[in-house]
Structure 1
Amino acid sequence: MRLRTSSIVGITATALSVAAIGYTVLPVVGELLGGPGRPQAGYVSGAQAKAARPSLPHWLPDSATEVDYKASSDGGNRLLHARLTDGALPAACTTAVSSARPAKLTARWFPAGIDVRPTASCGQYLVVLDGEQLYAWQTDAARVPVAEAAAAR
């Protein structure tokens, strides 16, 4: 059986179209699902988030709303967003003294470039408070010394 040139072109075009759609759609689906090895979740309140995820920081107010959280499975990199209706930093926070960017961790709800201007530190997290919107990140480098200190006790 001989295939016509038009059939070969049609089959090739269809295969390339399917590949292009897969190449375009899969990263978006992966981001929506948190990406491979990067758990991501959204919560109604800080209390609900902390009850569901023990890895969320204790300083996050229970009254926080619209909580988004993403964690790297291969280290201590974390991203956090929450709405603080009073627009005030949690009491456990202090003025930021350094800056460290979360390596290879992004989320559609975490603004690009915001991590270059931390305004406070809350525990191991660096924080930007923009009105009522709190954006926080923790790096693996910040987590490791604390984990080692806890293990030495």
Structure 2
Amino acid sequence: MFAVSGIAVALVFGLQYWKNKSNEETDHYRTGTQAKTARDSMPRWLPDDATDVTIKLKGTRLDRILKATLPSGKPPVGCKPLEAGTKAEKPTLDASWFPDKASARAQFRCPSDPYKGTYYAYMDGKTLYAWFPTALGARD
């Protein structure tokens, strides 16, 4: 009886893990223009001339992580510096191309259109890292 119960518990947890991971998707675009044309959920503040744009999102929630190269090396227009003492929310997704402990490096906030909330972001040279967290499942 205990063996059957253990198998049932393992099966439930395994299915939950698969469900959580199966609705994640990652897309890559050559430019900001291409990304915004292909995906309505791409933030409008992403510069058209951004290159090497990668986004990972979770389909059933609003969670997103984003990486892009910005030729100007400056934060996108519309993004505002974080106020002193403000702690960024933690990303709720992870990927090999997205840094650990990103929230500790957050420099600014960007509007999340059409969704309510905010993207947190920082620049590392010309590379932009941004994330739109939800309240559930922060990872760092």
TM-score (norm 2): 0.72
- Equivalent-residue separation in structure 1 for 2:120 and 2:39 (angstroms): 19
Q: Which has the higher contact order (CA 8 A, sep 6+)?
A: 2
CA contact (8 A) 2:98 2:129 kept: yes
| Structure 1: segments with no counterpart, 5+ residues | 1-29, 142-153
- Equivalent-residue separation in structure 2 for 1:106 and 1:118 (angstroms): 16
Cα deviation, residue 52, structure 1: 0.7
- Equivalent-residue separation in structure 2 for 1:94 and 1:62 (angstroms): 19
Between 47-56 and 111-120, the greater mean CA deviation after superposition: 111-120
- Equivalent-residue separation in structure 1 for 2:91 and 2:60 (angstroms): 13
| Poorly superposed stretches of 4+, deviation over 6 Å | none
- Give the number of aligned pairs: 107
- Equivalent-residue separation in structure 1 for 2:77 and 2:38 (angstroms): 23
Structure whose CA Rg is larger: 1
- Equivalent-residue separation in structure 1 for 2:78 and 2:125 (angstroms): 18
- Equivalent-residue separation in structure 2 for 1:69 and 1:112 (angstroms): 16
Q: Deviations over 1:32-56 (max 9, x none)?
A: xxx5110110110000001111101
Structure 2 counterpart of 1:42: 28
Root-mean-square deviation (CA, aligned residues, Å) is: 1.5
Between 58-67 and 111-120, the greater mean CA deviation after superposition: 111-120
Between 109-118 and 56-65, the greater mean CA deviation after superposition: 109-118
Identity of aligned residues (%): 37
Give the alignment of 1:119-130 within 5 angstroms: 119-123=107-111, 124-130=118-124
Paired residue for 1:95, among 50, 61, 81? 81
Letter in 2 for 1:100: E
| Structure 2: segments with no counterpart, 5+ residues | 1-17, 112-117, 136-140
Structure 1 counterpart of 2:38: 52
Cα deviation, residue 140, structure 1: 2.2
Structure 2 counterpart of 1:13: none
Structure 2 counterpart of 1:137: 131
TM-score (norm 1): 0.66
- Equivalent-residue separation in structure 2 for 1:80 and 1:41 (angstroms): 10
Greater fraction helix: 1
